[in-house]
Amino acid sequence: MTDPSFIDNLRRRLLEPLPGDDAHQKMKARRSNGAPIIFPPPKDPKRGAVLILLYKKKTRWHFPIIRRSEYDGVHGGQIGLPGGKVEKSDKGLDFTALREAHEEIGIILEDVEVLGSLSSFFVGASNYQVLPVVGKIDYVPTFFPDGMEVAEVIEVPIDDFLNESNRKEKEIEVRGYSIIAPYFDVKSQFIWGATAMMLSELVTILEEL
Q: What span, in angstroms and rounded, lies between the C-alpha atoms of 159 and 161?
A: 5
Domains (range + CATH), the chain: 6-208 (3.90.79.10)
- pLDDT for the residue numbered 193: 94
154 - beta bridge partners? Answer: 65
Chain segment 84-134, per-residue pLDDT in tens = 999 999 999 999 999 999 999 999 999 999 999 999 999 988 899 999 999
Chain segment 140-192, per-residue pLDDT in tens = 999 999 988 899 999 999 999 999 999 999 999 887 789 999 999 999 999 99
Is the pLDDT confidence value at 2 over 70? no
Conformational region of residue 122, where left means phi above 0, alpha means psi within -120 to 50, and beta covers everything else: beta
Please report, as a single letter, which amino acid is at residue 104: E
Residue 76: which pLDDT band, with cuts at 50, 70 and 90?
Answer: low
The residues, any chain, with a CB within 8 Å of residue 175's CB and separated by 6 or more, are: none
Residue 72: which pLDDT band, with cuts at 50, 70 and 90?
Answer: low
Max Cα-Cα span within the chain: 48
| Cβ atoms 29, 179 nearer than 8 A | yes
| Cβ atoms 185, 166 nearer than 8 A | yes
Percent of the chain residues topping a pLDDT of 90? 81
